[in-house]
């Protein structure tokens, strides 16, 4: 429901049904997705494997980005500090927990990675200028996500501003 209200899904998903007094469309969508996963998978365990692969993949990618930023931007002001060994141990454990469902259920893992990969074209579509008529129907298109500027971008902007003012 919140995803529909925030325009990550079509707005109809975020509406409260006046007849039922609840998020009817969001409940129908959730039920349909669960039925598809359970019917096309072999069991509830396949759904758990699918979700586990997706979750542990993103957990490991998120913590890997911490290490990447520590190497790429060592002087970057971060809201918290941690020893290097902590994210390395976490990544090792998360890769192990990612590998187990891949070995145990390769088809669910392939489906999970296909699901993750399907988001890549959606990301690039959301980064381009979208006609206003289509904007309300595309998930997330109304948010205009943009990369946050880095310190290097700020230095370049300050240098340009100084050149332009002289």
Question: In the chain, where are the structural domains located?
Answer: 1-40+132-166, 43-128
What confidence tens digit (pLDDT) does each residue in 98-146 have? 999 889 888 888 888 998 888 887 777 666 666 666 655 555 555 555 5
Cα–Cα distance, 37 to 112 (Å, whole number): 11
CA angle, 52 then 56 then 61, to 5°: 150
Cα–Cα distance, 15 to 21 (Å, whole number): 10
Cα–Cα distance, 2 to 14 (Å, whole number): 6
Cα–Cα distance, 148 to 144 (Å, whole number): 12
The pTM is what? 0.58
């Amino acid at each position: 429901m919140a995803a529909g209200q925030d325009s990550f899904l079509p707005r109809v998903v975020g509406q409260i049904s006046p007849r039922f007094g609840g998020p009817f469309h969001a409940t129908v969508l959730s039920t349909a997705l669960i039925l598809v996963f359970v019917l096309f998978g072999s069991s509830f365990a396949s759904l758990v494997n699918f979700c586990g692969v997706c979750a542990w993949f993103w957990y490991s990618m998120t913590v890997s980005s911490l290490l990447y930023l520590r190497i790429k931007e060592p002087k970057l002001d971060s809201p918290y500090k941690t020893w290097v060994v902590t994210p390395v141990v976490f990544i090792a454990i998360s890769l192990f927990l990612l590998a187990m469902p891949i070995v145990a259920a390769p088809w669910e893992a392939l489906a999970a990675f296909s699901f993750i990969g399907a988001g890549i074209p959606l990301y690039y579509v959301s980064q381009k200028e979208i006609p206003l008529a289509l904007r309300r129907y595309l998930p997330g298109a109304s948010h205009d996500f943009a990369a946050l500027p880095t310190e290097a971008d700020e230095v370049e902007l300050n240098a340009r501003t100084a050149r332009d003012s002289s």
